[in-house]
Structure formats: C-alpha cells, structure tokens
Amino acid sequence: MATQQINIPDIGDFDSVEVIEVLVAEGDVVAVDDSLVTLESDKATMEIPSPVSGKVTKVTVKVGDSVAEGDYILDIEADEAAAEEAPKADAKKEEPAKEAPKAAAPAEKPAPQETKAPAPNVPPVPKPVNAQSMGAAYHASPSVRAFARKLGVDLNAVTGTGPKGRIQQNDVEAMIKSVMQGSAAASGQPQGGAGIPSVPEIDFSQFGETETVELGRIKKISGKFLQTSWLNVPHVTQFDESDITEMDAFRKSMKAQAEKAGVKLTPLVFVMKAVVKALQEFPNFNASLSPDGQSIIKKHYYNIGVAVDTPNGLVVPVVRDVDQKGIFDLSKDLMELSAKARDGKLTPADMSGGCFTISSLGGIGGTQFTPIVNAPEVAIMGLSKAKMQPVWNGAEFEPRLVMPFSVSYDHRVIDGAEGVRFTTTVGQYLTDLRQLIL
C-alpha cells in the first residue's frame, strides 16, 4: 500500500472554483473514476474523479473552499496495482512543475487591457489598502473580468469580498448598484442599473397568503446573462413556418436503422443540418460583434448550442462540428449531452464555443415565441410544435405537417432583409432535404 496525494486536475480557463460537495470521507473506499468532490464554476458543475482505487485516509477541503488546478484535496491509500502506476504518473508531472518558476515572474503584472481608465458612467471608488495582497492590482476570474469589461467597470475601483480579496461578480454588481443609487439620490428618483427605473417593491402578503421560494442555482446564473443580453443586444425576431411532411416521413422511415445504431432520431438533428447549411450561405449569422462594436468576427466552424430543459433549469450544451457529422452522429452527441445536462455533469468545455443556438419547445407545445439571443452569438432559433394543417396545393386543400419557428437576431449585425432571407432558406431546406446535398 502507498499513499497518493490527489490534486485538482485541469479545470479549464478558471482561476479558481468553489467546492459545493465533498463526496467522500476519511475511511471510505473508492474505485477508479468514483467522484471525490463536486466543483461549481459560473457556468457549470463538475465532479472530480478518483485516478486510483483505494482507501481515503485524509480530506483537506470542505464545502465552500475555493480550489484551483493543482491544489491538494485529499490522500488515498492506493491498492498495490494503483501504487505501481502512481510513480509513473508523478514523473509525467515533474517537467511542467520545474517550469513553473519561469512562468511566475510575468504573472506579477496585471494584463494591460485590464487596467483601463475608469468608465465615465462608473466613477472610481477608493479601495482599502488591505483589499489585495501579493502585489497584484486585483484578483478576479476570467468570467468576472469579461463581465466587468462588458459593463465598463474598472476593476481597480472594485473591492473584492472573496478569499484573499478576490473580486467576484456580486462585487461588480454591488459597486454599480451603489453608484446608481448615489445618482438616484441626487436626482430624487429611484433608479436601477444603468439608469433603468427599478421595479417598485410591493408587500404582496397584504393581499393574501404568500410563499417565498429561492431561485435555483442555474436560474440565478443564467438570469444575469439573459438580462445582460437583453439590455445590450437590439433584438429583432422573424417568424416563419416550414412544411416538414416529407422530412418527418423520412425520419420515421429511418427509425429501425437508427435503433440498430443505438440512437433516437429526432427532428432536431435535421434542423441542425439545415441551419448549418444556411449559416454557410449567410455568414453574418455565424459571427460575433467585436468588443468595440466596429467590426464582426466571422467564424469558419459550426458549433450549435442546444437548449436543454433540466430539473434545475435551462442549460445550453454545444454540439461541435455539426457540418462534418451525419444525422446518426449528431443524434448520439445530443443524447450524450442531454444526459450529462440532466445529471448536472456538464463541464465548461461542454458549454463553450457555440456559434448559433437552437431552443426547441416542439415537444411541449405552443405556436411561436421570441428567444433571447445567447450573446456573444448574434442569432438564436426557436422551434415550436408542428401540427397538421390544410394547405392549398393549387387544386385542393391537403393535410400537411407544418412547423412554426422563429429567429431572433442582433440588429447591429443583421438587417431585416437578411433575417427573412435566412429564415426562408432554412424553411426551404427543411421542406426538401435533398437541397442539403446541393
């Protein structure tokens, strides 16, 4: 038996993440890939698996701790076979460890772009002299830095309340709120963020019995991003519908073949292929607006985000390289990502890199809706429930399966004429799938 220290593996582009669950205790016996702790970033939760089998002899973290890549979290008294492999794994880690001191020197200086002059609308607030340590101007995760840049907040003026003075998103929000409250007090009018009048507070209990239920974690996180997108993106929504009679007949004819391949064939995979074909013809939809708003960044890859309804709220995993995959491969990807989403096991990598998002309510009902653009993307499609309708064919009415859909887009990047051309093109591809191979 040999004791092996377990450290946090690569967790993506995060300085630190919070421990929300410790899944083992001293004395527990674990197998390879058993979950040890659960971490939570601002985008997703992730479980850290055990690299070896054995007995947990020491746990050094607790719920609420912040950890980063390489942090020591516990000891496992590894089985003999695992102990023999441990030295090999440690040897592989030694080389990057030797290089660490060289990379440490430049990290003492904050990046130039993160020390902008204070934005005109957010005057700087004096920072306590003991708010930061280790010589850095401020400490904040990449997501918080991006959030502050979007709102024009100078992080040098924000007081961090996190561990070791780390600036968190609520610190940025608190500063903006305090500034706006100061402006409101001067004008004598109640104001919300960015000068938007706040919703009046009402004691609803005066009208009858009430109950206060806290929002779920995912809704709290996504709500902030949705509000930011709604306030920053000038939305336009184009409504359309498509005759999918032939497409649905083809899908049903492929059911047996799909079952042999171990997948469930849904209309969504055909929509994804039609959307990618249209994105190739209308590249402005497969783009993002530059931070200064003076140019667009066109993407030459096609990753489609798919909104998934889970017990904890709506999440948007991303299916990559849709243009390079067939409908069975896409069906498999969707099944795997949907299962991870429902189990709360999506990683930050699963939810990043999207170009265009599809939100499908077709399995539930409804006729049309206006989805909110998932910024920094510039467009999103909403699918509603298809139903049989009488359609005039020139001689008589015949029953056809018609699916309503909508596309919301950023009017700074896409104008109305281009928007309707895009939806018309997608509708034509869904009506006649043969056009997808032209």
Which of the residues are catalytic?
A: 411
Segments in 188-236 forming alpha helices (H): 217-232
* Unique residue bearing structure tokens 């997948």: 263
* CB of 370 closer than 8 Å to CB of 237: yes
Alpha-carbon distance of 214 to 124, in angstroms, equals 33
Looking from the CA of 125 toward its CB, the CA atoms found within 13 Å total 19
**Parallel/antiparallel/unpaired status of strands 287-289 and 296-298:** antiparallel
Strands in 300-416 per DSSP E: 304-306, 308-310, 313-315, 318-319, 356-360, 379-383, 387-392, 397-410
Residue 342 phi, psi (nearest 5): -65, -30
DSSP result, 46-90:
EEEEPSS-EEEEEE---TT-EE-TT-EEEEEEE-HHHHHHHHHHH
| Spatial CB neighbours of 48, under 8 Å, sequence gap ≥ 6 | 8, 9, 35, 36, 37, 38, 39, 73
Q: How far is CA 60 from CA 22, 26, 66, 71, 247, in A?
A: 10, 10, 12, 10, 56
Return the ∠ at Cα 47 (arms to 41 and 48), rounded to 5°.
110
Alpha-carbon distance of 274 to 356, in angstroms, equals 12
User: In which element (H, E) is residue 12 found?
Assistant: none
- Residue 391 pairs in a beta bridge with 398
Structure tokens at 280: 């190739």
* Unique residue bearing structure tokens 């440490």: 104
* Unique residue bearing structure tokens 């003075």: 165
| Spatial CB neighbours of 354, under 8 Å, sequence gap ≥ 6 | 303, 304, 305, 316, 318, 374, 377
Residue 57 CA, chain-centre distance (Å), reads: 36
